[in-house]
Amino acid sequence: MSRAAVVHPDGLTRCPWPGSDPLYVAYHDTEWGVPEYDDRALYEKLILDGFQAGLSWITILRKRENFRRAFDDFQPEKIARYTDKKIHALMNDVGIVRNRAKIEGTILSAKSWLKIQEEGGFSKLLWDFMDGAPKVNQFKTTASVPASTPLSIKVSKELSARGFKFVGPTIVYAFMQATGMVNDHLVTCFCHETCSGKRRAPRLKPPK
């Protein structure tokens, strides 16, 4: 279905997909499409996009704080050392999506992330595909936005070859949109103009 941008009660024109859900609108306005260069944050987003497969993103967004708590704030150094006992505990955690293959994939992906960090960094690996800068698209309706692209296929193959799990071309493209590697806000959305010039502020880690 071809869907154009929507004018909200606050007078701002936005992409149609967040609807009127305040959590989703805030995510659209402040996170989606804003370039992310932090190695750990990129790992977190890739993992959450993998968990989203077969579900809607708002479902994951509502559980995101639960995921962060359950997965040690997505610190790959800790996740790479998870044991069978920890996997069992995660499978019994009602606050997250309980999928054994995805949980085990998160651990394998953490191990791959650690290797990449030694070689120059996860952010560098990803942004090198973009020559360091976001690709700004000019879509007018959601029907024009692709589910995957030749570039997302290329990134997907690279990540798979390095041992990452749940990184198919569609998941990778959703990840690239969310982390600002591509700007897929519709041209009439107020974020289209602003987000590529931004840089995501680092998220403060919760106190231990």
- 191 has binding-site annotation: no
Q: Using an 8 Å Cβ cutoff, are 70 and 95 in contact?
A: yes
- 192 has binding-site annotation: no
Q: How does strand 135-136 pair with strand 182-183?
A: parallel
CA distance 84 to 105: 13
User: How many Å from the N-terminal Cα to the C-terminal Cα in the chain?
Assistant: 46
The H-or-E segment that residue 136 falls in is: strand 135-136
Provide the residue type at 110 as one letter. A
Q: Using an 8 Å Cβ cutoff, are 109 and 40 in contact?
A: no
- 189 has binding-site annotation: yes
Q: Using an 8 Å Cβ cutoff, are 190 and 12 in contact?
A: yes
CA distance 6 to 187: 12
Q: Using an 8 Å Cβ cutoff, are 18 and 25 in contact?
A: yes
- 185 has binding-site annotation: yes
Per DSSP, the three-state class of 184 is: coil
Structure tokens at 154: 């290329």
Q: Which residues are annotated as a binding site?
A: 15, 28, 185, 189
Q: Binding-site residues for Zn(2+), please?
A: 15, 28, 185, 189
